[in-house]
Amino acid sequence: MTDAIPMTEGKGLATSPGSLAGLKVIDLTRVLGGPYCTMILSDHGAEVIKIEPPQGDETRGWGPPFHEADASYFIGVNRNKKALALDLSKPEGRAVLLRLLEGADVLVENYKPGSMEKWGIGYADVLSKRFPGLIHCRVSGFGGDGPLGALPGYDAVIQAMVGLMSINGDDTTGPLRMGTPIVDLATGLYSTIAILMALNERTRSGKGQFLDMSLHDCGMALLHPQAANYFLNGKRPKALGNPHPNISPYSKFATKTCEIFVACGNEPAWRKFCEFLQLQHLVADPRFATNALRVENRAALNALLDERLASEDGHALCDRMLRAGLPAGPVLFVDEAMAAPHTAHRGMVAELDWFRGLGTPIKMSRTPGGARSVPPRFNEHGTDILAAHGFSEAEIAELEAAGVVVTAQR
């Protein structure tokens, strides 16, 4: 069911079938964590059949901006997929799903834990027996068990509950939500890793398994080095703003033309940094003799660096520093980052027909992935998907007439 696309027209496009070619994924997810996971799989050749409820993936409406009726939020994480709208609250809809699962390798869903069981299609009692090789990945807020098991969770709520907000911002802001939905994205990434691990294990055992992925666990897994610091010293981590809690200098500084970020991760880099800026006397300053002392005396060191850097052209300085082997970069806005020459060279903006989106960061030498088709409209491929799974024209018409297959978003 993979459509051929003109591989020479556009940017950031897949130029091979992909490392996951032949993998069949049934995608019952909405919003971000699950769809981000399945887009990664589809970028690398997996056939992803996205099954939406009658009302559609709610992110189709999370705009503006929109392309026709679909919001950028949906467009950004749903390329390369085939779309079918199915009412799983009806027994006939669940029967269609079971038929689509024949020959499938992976099922990804983010219904409230217990929903699949309530519908009589839970993994333990039904799916594992009917499809023993199936990998069933469930994405939920808190997992299916424990004190918060099966309760609803959204990215920002989880950021608050796992401590991520408490380490973002500074004394003036208080706990601050991270501007990107980092928990949803991380859950998508961890879910992808889990699926690939399960597929690898299946090559030995021949068996599928159930993956219980939660925003709570994946968000908490991002607390490094703050959790490691806490486990060792017992002190509550503080929000420091731009400075690193364990390294100095590792922060943002103002220059004449822009703000820059400097990262000195070891003693040779610190000495080279001081020499580059003609601040060799700081190396001999007892306040800054070690990284631990530089962290302790961070305010004094930052004041000296602020003074030194204030007259520099930040863009030119960072270029010189990078080429000298010193990690530093200008603080760019999103539009500037998208237009940067290195972004284009690395294929990190994908373009196909009307679609523009972030490219895949996974670069493979023999089986490169990338954009293959534009994000689908609601139920765009419904008839084709069902026909490919053996449904006759009469059966498809009957399913549409009964509202099992939904042709217009409700």
Same domain, yes or no: 300 and 352: no
Q: What is the pLDDT of residue 161?
A: 97
Look at residue 284 in the predicted model and tell me its pLDDT. 95
**Do residues 248 and 295 make contact, with C-beta atoms less than 8 angstroms apart?**
yes
Domain of 41: which CATH number?
A: 3.40.50.10540
Of the residues 275, 304, 330, which one is the last residue of a structural domain?
330
Q: Kindly state whether residues 58 and 207 are assigned to the same domain.
A: yes
The answer to the question of residue 272 being in a domain is yes
Residue 6, pLDDT above cutoff 50: no
Examine the fold and report which residue of 306, 330, 354 is the final residue of a domain before the chain moves on: 330
Range 181-185 average pLDDT: 98
Whether 67 shows a pLDDT value over 50: the answer reads: yes
So what's the pLDDT on residue 4? 38
Last residue in a domain, options 305, 330, 355: 330
Question: 149 with 114, same domain?
Answer: yes
Cβ atoms of residues 186 and 177 within 8 Å: no
Distance CA 293, CA 282 (A): 12
Do 300 and 153 lie in a common domain? no
Closest CA to 373 of 73, 44, 81, 28: 81
In tens, the pLDDT along 334-363 reads 999 999 999 999 999 999 999 999 999 999
Q: Is the pTM of this model over 0.85?
A: yes
Q: pLDDT tens for residues 309-326?
A: 999 999 999 999 999 999
Domain that holds residue 351: 24-222+345-401
Token pair listed for 321: 């520093």
Question: Do 207 and 276 belong to one domain?
Answer: no
pLDDT at 2: 38
Does residue 161 share a domain with residue 285?
no
Task: List residues with catalytic annotation.
Answer: 184
> Which residue type occupies 107?
L
Same domain, 66 and 200: yes
Residue 7 lies in a domain: no
- Dihedral pair phi/psi, residue 261, rounded to 5°: -120, 130
- Tokens coding 45: 């050749």
Look at residue 126 and tell me whether its pLDDT is greater than 80: yes
What pLDDT band is residue 1 in, cutting at 50, 70 and 90? very low
Angle at alpha carbon of residue 169, lines to 163 and 174, rounded to 5°: 75
Give yes or no for a contact between 372 and 80, defined as CB atoms under 8 angstroms apart: yes
Residue 230 has pLDDT above 90, yes or no: yes
Query: Running DSSP on this structure, what letter comes out for residue 171?
Result: T
Q: Does residue 379 belong to any structural domain of this protein?
A: yes
Directed axis angle between helix 182-205 and helix 155-162, to 10°? Answer: 90
3-state secondary structure 254-298: ECCCCEEEEECCCHHHHHHHHHHCCCCHHHHCHHHCCHHHHHHCH
10 pLDDT band, cuts 50/70/90, is: confident
Is there a domain that residue 338 lies in?
Answer: no
Domain-embedded: residue 289: yes
Instruction: For residue 243, tell me if it sits in a domain.
Output: no
152: cis peptide before it, omega within 30°?
Answer: no
DSSP string over 195-256: HHHHHHHHHHH----EEEEEHHHHHHTT-TTHHHHHHHH-PPP---SSS-SS-SSEEEEE-S
pLDDT tens for each residue of 234-268: 999 999 899 999 999 999 999 999 999 999 989 99
Instruction: Identify the CA nearest to 195 among candidates 337, 314, 29, 25.
Output: 25
Instruction: Note whether 299 and 156 are same-domain residues.
Output: no
Compare 3 and 74 and report the one with higher pLDDT.
74
Q: pLDDT digits over 84-109, tens only?
A: 999 999 999 999 999 999 999 999 99
The mean of the pLDDT values for the chain is 95
Mark whether 32 and 96 lie in a shared domain.
yes
- For residue 284, give the CATH number of its domain: 3.30.1540.10
Collapsed DSSP state (helix, strand, coil) of residue 349: strand
pLDDT over 60 at 8, yes or no: no
Residues 86 and 215 in one domain: yes
Nearest-angstrom CA–CA distance, 288 and 283: 7
Classify residue 110: in a domain, yes or no.
yes
Are 89 and 213 members of one domain?
Answer: yes
User: Does position 70 have pLDDT exceeding 90, yes or no?
Assistant: yes
The 3-state DSSP class for residue 20 equals: coil
Q: How many domains does the chain have?
A: 2
Tell me if the bond preceding 64 is cis, omega within 30° of 0: yes
15 near 370, Cβ under 8 Å? yes
User: Do 356 and 316 lie in a common domain?
Assistant: no
What pLDDT does 209 receive? 98
- In 3D space, the residue among 136, 147, 140 whose CA is nearest the CA of residue 183 turns out to be 140
Residue 193 lies in a domain: yes
